[in-house]
Amino acid sequence: MKRLLLIAVAAVALVGCEVDSDAGSMHVTVIESFEKSIDADGGYSLGYSSDYLMFENGYDEQYGSWNGFAVSKCNDMTSGDWSNQYSVYNEKVYSGSQFLLFYYDDYSPVKDILCRYAGEYAFDSVYVNLSTYTALAIKNGNGFARAFEDGDYLKVTFTALLENKIEGESVEFFLADYRDGKSYLAEEWAKVDLSPLKGALWGIRITMETTDVNEWGACTPLYVCLDHLIYSVDF
C-alpha cells in the first residue's frame, strides 16, 4: 500500500515522500532552496548541510582562505573586488531568501556535494547564476583577471561520483561564452538539466574551467551561485 506525504522542512522548500509500507521502501523528492538560518555576520556562512546532502567546505586559518560551498543572501551587484565574493550578480535569489555559492580553488583539493545516506539518487536540475565578483571580472577585468574577449569562456561541470568517488557521467554549462561571436553571461538564473547524474551515487563534484589562465592557473574568479536544486532519493 502506497501513501503520498507532503511535508515542509526548514532545510528544503518542499519534500515529497512516497512510502511503500509492504516493501519497506521510501521515495523522497527534494526541492532544496538552502534556507537554513545563517549564524554569521555579513550575510553568509561557510559550508552547508541538508537532510540528505552535505556540501563540503575547506578553510585555511593561516591564510584566511576557503574553498567549496557557502550559503549566502548577499546581492551587491556593483562592488567588483574580492571583499564582495559572496554576492550573486542578480537583484534576487531564484527561490527563498538565500542561495548556495561554490568556489573552485584549483590550487586545493576540490570539495564535493556528498550523499549522506546509501540509496539511489537521481538529480533533476539546478539553477545557476554568476557571482558579482566573477561577472565584473569578466566584463571589466581587474588587477589579476582580464576582461573576456572573443574566444573566451567560463564553464562549470557537474560530475556524478560513484563508489570511492570514481567519476561517472557529467553535465557541462557555460556561465560565460564569448566563442564564435557570442557574448553570453549568466546574469539571470539559468536552469541546468542534471538528469544524467543518477544511480547509487556517493555525491556530485563541481569543477570550473576558464580560458583566462596564466602559468599558475585560472585568473578568472571561479565562483558559481546555485539555487533550487531538485533531486530524489530511493531507500
pLDDT number for residue 107: 80
Query: What does each C-alpha distance from 16 to 31, 81, 196, 198, 225 come to in angstroms?
Result: 9, 41, 21, 18, 25
| pTM, 2 dp | 0.89
Least confident of 14-28, 42-56, 93-107: 14-28
Asked if pLDDT for residue 23 goes beyond 80, the answer is no
The percentage of residues in the chain with a pLDDT greater than 90, rounded to a whole number, is: 80
- What's the mean pLDDT in 223-234? 98
Residue-wise pLDDT tens digits, 76-129 = 999 999 999 999 999 999 999 999 999 998 788 899 999 999 999 999 999 999
Taking alpha carbons only, the member of 71, 56, 84 closest to residue 221 is 84
What is 38-228's CATH number?
2.60.120.1350
